[in-house]
Amino acid sequence: MRLKVSTVGEAVLRQQARPLSSVEIRSARIKQLIEHMRATMNDAPGVGLAAPQIGIPLQLAVIEDKLEYFSGFSPEQIAERQRKPVPFHVLINPVLQLQGAPDVEFFEGCLSLPGYTAIVPRAHSVRVECLDHGGTLQVIKASGWYARILQHEIDHLHGTLYLDRMLGRTFCSIDNQVRFWKNKSAAEVKAAVGS
């Protein structure tokens, strides 16, 4: 079942999501919600979806970055982003630790802001402690694009959108990003727009 994705301007995207209890995590309702979120994310398609994005202020997100999503990028762009496939998994009540300054800049989009993108600085590496779909503690150490996905989705659980972190002068439609900036580095885009 595909769920409606909340878009920028809806209050739920700006609220602090609440943690799930161990009883909730094991409930049939949450298990079904996870499956619906996965279907919604894959249908979009997207690489992550947080519960606030479907109007539910819970500290729950799903992530999956499939190899088929790399098709629009050259091997050099994939290498530059350090992008590798990430299998489907669930984050519940995550705690994020940045492993360095947010100084890696790439264009980023969001299912809650369809049709737009901007350059967003993110940390290259992160450490995340969370519970999985069964309530088991997990420690994730990630770098490159996977670290970016984790930061983006966990931001949603705290009412933060990429709009709050973007380099404002790089904000544009996805069509224009593809038309003008697809094969440019972040430094080239920033120089061109005076950012």
Give me the pLDDT at residue 157, please. Answer: 98
> Of 24, 35, 153, 188, which residue is the catalytic one?
153
Q: In what order do the strands lie in the sheet containing 104-108? A: 104-108, 116-122, 172-173
Domain residue ranges of the chain, discontinuous segments joined by +: 11-193
CA distance 64 to 153: 12
Between the alpha carbon of residue 140 and those of residues 41, 93, 136, 185, the distances in Å are 21, 13, 13, 29
Does the domain at 11-193 match CATH 3.90.45.10? Answer given as yes
Q: What is the pLDDT of residues 92-139, one digit of tens each?
A: 999 999 999 999 999 999 999 999 999 999 999 999 999 999 999 999
Our CA angle for 28, 34, 37, nearest 5°, is 140
- The more confidently predicted of residues 184 and 51 is 51
Residue 152 has pLDDT above 90, yes or no: yes
CA distance 88 to 78: 20
| 153 given a catalytic annotation | yes
Give me the pLDDT at residue 158, please. Answer: 98
Give me the pLDDT at residue 167, please. Answer: 97
Residue 48 has pLDDT above 90, yes or no: yes
Give me the pLDDT at residue 72, please. Answer: 83
pTM of the model: 0.96
Biggest alpha carbon–alpha carbon distance for the chain: 52
What is the Cβ-side half-sphere exposure of residue 61, based on CA atoms within 13 angstroms?
27
